[in-house]
Structure formats: C-alpha cells, structure tokens
C-alpha cells in the first residue's frame, strides 16, 4: 500500500524520516533496560527530524472520536434535562405522581444524585482504569447511562428515582475519565486539541439538547420522565459504537510493556487496532513498523521500573508536576464561580428588561446557544492559537466580567446592559478557556505510565470542587452579599491567571511523548 514516506504514527511518536535513501542510517537503538540518562540529545534529534505530521482521513478519525464523545454529550444532557425535570417533578398538576411535594433535602438529592454518583465513579475507576482499558471502561459507562436513564424515567417512587440518578452518575464518572483518554490516544497530534475540545462542545450540545427537551415537555403530564428517558437511546448508541471500536493501541502496548500477557499477542492486537483506526488493511506493514517502534520506546522507558505504577507514583517527580497542572486547572475551572454565575442568569436578564427571562427554560436555551457558539470558536482555534493564549485571554476576561458583575450589584444597578454584557462575557470567556482546554490538557499532560490514575484524580477533583461550589453558593451569598461574592470569584480568577502564566506549558502540536519529555526536564 502506498504511504507517505514521512508519516508519523497513530501514537504521535517521534519517528525519523523514512526516505528509502536513509532507512539504513537511523540512530541505533539502545538495548532494552539500559540507562537512558545520556539519551537526551539523541531523543531531541529524533524529535527535530519528525518535521512532517501524520496524513490521515477525517472519516477514519471522526468515528473513533464520536462514540466516546457521546459520553460527554450524555453528561451535558443530564445537566440540561435536570433544570426542567425539577420544575416538572414538583408540580402538583404536571408531575404525575403522588410524591411531588419534595422537601429541600429531597430535591437537592435529585439534583445532585448524578454528581455524587460521578464522584463515586471517579473513586471506583482509580485503581482499575488501567486493568479495564479505555474501551471497556466506556462500554461499562454506556451500560450505566442506559440503566440510570431507564430506571429514572420509570421510577415509581423517590427512592427508585435516586437509585437511577446514582447509576447515571456512575456512568458520568467513568465516561469523563475514559473518553478523553481514548480520544487523545487514538488521534494525530496535529488535531488532538481540536478533537478533545470537540468533546467539550458535545457536552455543551448535550446541555442545549436537555434544555430544548425540557422546554418541549415542560407542560406534559409526567414530562420529567421523558426528559430523563431520552438519554437511554443515546446511551445504547454509545455502547454499540464502543463495542465495534478497537481498544486503544497505546493501552495494549502498555500492558505488554508491563508484562501483563504475551508480548506477541498484545503487539498483534495493537497492529490490528491501529490498522482499523486508520482505515488500513488489517496487519499492514506501516502499522507493524509503528507498533514495533512504539513498543521498543515503551519497553526502554519502563524497563527499570515496577511493572505497574504504584498508587503514590502520581505524586512523584514529573508525575507530580503533571498532577499539579491538571488538578489546578480543573479546580480553578469550578472555583472561579462557573456553577454560581449561571444561577444569576435569570435575575440578571430580568433586570435588563428581557421578558423571556421569566421563563426559566427559554432563558436556559439562550444561554446554552451562546455557550455552544463560543465553544465552537475554541474548538476551531485551539490547535491554531495554542492552549496558553486562549487560557490567558479567556481567564483575563473571566476576572473582568466578575468584577463588572460585582459593580453592577453594588452601584451600577441603573445600567442593566452592563449586567447583560458581563454575563455574556463570562460565559463566552469560560467557553474559550477553562471549559474545553482544562479537559484537553488533563488528557495530554500525564505520562503514559500514570495517565489512567492521574486523570482519575483530576476527574475526582473536578466533581468534588463542583459539589463544594454548588452547595457553598447559597450560604456565601447570604453571608457576603452578591456583590462581594463576585469580588471573591474575581480574585480567585486573578489567582488562576497567575497559575496559568507561571505553570501551564504550551502543548500545541506536540506528541504525547514530547509533552512527557518536556515536563521531565
């Protein structure tokens, strides 16, 4: 089969040029297990020689992206659907139940049930992620989504409803861990930012879909059942799609390098997986060569280490640096007030004279549409402009919008357009910075050896901080007042900007191995 002489591998590894005139002049590989402390110059030479990027077909790239990304869409859908479902569920006329009169605690459990499920799912997947593999993890996630959606939709009582919410949340926790892993490990480096960010776009699309379904079903008897139940066929599609996709070739070779089975068998599976992912004939020579190069690199890198990373290894050496960057990003993503600011969307728009703000579902659709558009801009520009510029500009805009909102509540109440502009500025800046880029960098910043465990901890930190911000919002608003609460969020946004400038590296266009090498220096 004809193939470009300078193609890079699926795994985004640094391959030397393979022109026929230079095939016999590549640097000699070191024996497996030999020390690699003096190999920095040689490795850098290999990196500099890889000047051209992998040729790929968008058809072959989109399919391995789409089905994992449905896990993100289902996460977003739950957020959007819940906003309408809670209104429907508590209505004496529309709930269709005899137990509609929910207490504040019961309503809080319905709303946050999936969040606590996601927290538990993040904890559960931490020790078993590398054993399961990315594909099996996403299949299990789809099954949990399906069961959770169906149980919630047909719940005859509040207790059964809460069980369904918990199961759905377990699916969220596993999907938000497995999806960025699978996507990042199976796409070319030059479009990795676009595809992982596109998963964030599908989360926003899911929120928007949930808002739309809520607005259509809000007046139906038992409409909340339809709002939650529509997630089931999407989950089924996700499960079927992941069943048909191959495992991540990186994961297969990592298991081989860790001595978890027959090396020959794992390598053969990896070749077939790579061929299928790239639309090549099964077992083609190009895939065989790339798999061999990748395996030699992995074996050499991990020869002197334990067969499997320990639980504490994430907090050591370059892994610790990656952990600080990843967890810092997802923490600042939440504690800059992202859940709380949107709670003010309705009142802010009402003060500006927008009559549609009186209808919560319609206001939500407007905000969702704007979030979707701004996320689309980030997806289109992230691989062109880079991660750091978008983060710096976006987080600066977040801080400005928060101080403007504080000023509006403090002494600019007579200028409602300031409030509207501030709200839209906040939403727009969040969606071009923390929204997509935090998860993108989490998926690419960890070394392969600790990537599964590292992302588990980042997902756990994300959902934990989300829960803290969500539940601390009301008492903080009561204690500080809206104007001072937004000042607090603004100060945190400035601290997050300092964090980005000082610690977050640029990863645009780098392979996962190049990022690992960059962090280790």
Residue ranges and CATH numbers for the domains of the chain are 59-245 (1.20.1250.20), 249-306 (no CATH), 308-520 (1.20.1250.20)
Q: In whole angstroms, what is the distance from residue 166 CA to residue 162 CA?
A: 6
Quick: pLDDT tens for 474-502. 677 778 887 888 899 999 999 999 999 99
- Band of pLDDT at residue 241, cut at 50, 70 and 90: very high
- Band of pLDDT at residue 399, cut at 50, 70 and 90: very high
- Band of pLDDT at residue 184, cut at 50, 70 and 90: confident
Q: Is the pLDDT of residue 85 over 80?
A: yes
pTM higher than the cut 0.85: no
H helices present in 92-191, as ranges: 104-125, 129-132, 134-153, 158-185
| Three state DSSP letters for 57-98 | CHHHHHHHHHHHHHHHHHHHHHHHHHHHHHHHHHCCCCCCCC
């Amino acid at each position: 089969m004809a193939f470009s002489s300078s193609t890079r591998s699926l795994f985004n590894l640094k391959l030397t040029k393979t022109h026929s005139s230079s095939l016999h002049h590549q640097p000699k590989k070191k024996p497996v297990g030999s020390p690699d402390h003096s190999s920095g110059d040689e490795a850098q030479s290999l990196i500099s020689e890889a000047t051209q990027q992998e040729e790929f077909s968008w058809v072959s790239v989109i399919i391995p992206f789409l089905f994992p990304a449905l896990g993100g869409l289902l996460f977003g859908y739950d957020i959007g659907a819940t906003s309408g479902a809670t209104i429907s569920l508590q209505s004496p006329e529309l709930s269709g139940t005899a137990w509609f009169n929910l207490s504040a605690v019961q309503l809080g459990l319905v709303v946050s049930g999936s969040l606590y499920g996601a927290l538990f799912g993040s904890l559960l997947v931490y020790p078993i992620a590398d054993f399961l593999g990315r594909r099996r993890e996403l299949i299990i996630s789809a099954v949990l989504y399906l069961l959770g959606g169906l149980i919630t939709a047909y719940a005859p009582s509040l207790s059964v409803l809460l069980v369904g919410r918990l199961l759905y949340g377990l699916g969220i926790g596993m999907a938000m861990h497995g999806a960025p892993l699978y996507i990042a490990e199976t796409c070319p480096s030059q479009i990795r930012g676009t595809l992982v960010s596109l998963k964030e776009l599908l989360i926003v699309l899911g929120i928007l879909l949930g808002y739309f379904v809520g607005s259509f079903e809000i007046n139906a008897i038992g409409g909340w059942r339809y709002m939650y139940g529509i997630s089931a066929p999407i989950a089924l599609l996700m499960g079927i799609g992941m069943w048909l996709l191959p495992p991540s070739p990186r994961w297969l070779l990592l298991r081989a390098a860790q001595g978890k089975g027959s090396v020959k068998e794992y390598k053969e599976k990896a070749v077939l997986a790579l061929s299928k992912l790239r639309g090549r004939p099964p077992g083609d020579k190009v895939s065989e060569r790339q798999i061999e190069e990748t395996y030699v690199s992995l074996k050499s890198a991990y020869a002197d280490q334990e067969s499997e990373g320990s639980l504490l290894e994430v907090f050591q050496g370059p892994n610790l640096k990656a952990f600080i960057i990843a967890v810092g990003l997802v923490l600042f993503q939440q504690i800059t007030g992202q859940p709380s600011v949107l709670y003010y969307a309705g009142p802010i728009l009402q003060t500006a004279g927008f009559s549609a703000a009186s209808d919560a579902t319609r206001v939500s659709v407007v905000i969702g549409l704007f979030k979707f558009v701004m996320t689309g801009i980030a997806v289109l520009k992230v691989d062109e402009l880079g991660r750091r510029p978008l983060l710096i500009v976006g987080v600066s805009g977040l801080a400005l919008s928060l101080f403007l909102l504080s000023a509006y509540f403090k002494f600019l109440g007579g200028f409602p357009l300031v409030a509207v502009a501030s709200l839209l500025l906040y939403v727009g800046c969040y969606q071009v910075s923390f929204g997509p880029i935090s998860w993108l960098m989490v998926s690419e910043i960890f070394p392969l050896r600790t990537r599964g465990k590292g992302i588990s901890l980042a997902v756990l930190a994300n959902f934990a901080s989300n829960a803290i911000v969500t539940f601390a919002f009301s008492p903080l608003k009561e204690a500080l007042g809206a104007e001072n609460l937004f000042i607090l969020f603004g100060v945190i946004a400035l601290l997050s900007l300092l964090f980005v400038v000082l610690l977050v590296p640029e990863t645009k266009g780098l392979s996962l191995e190049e990022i690992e090498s960059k962090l280790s220096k």
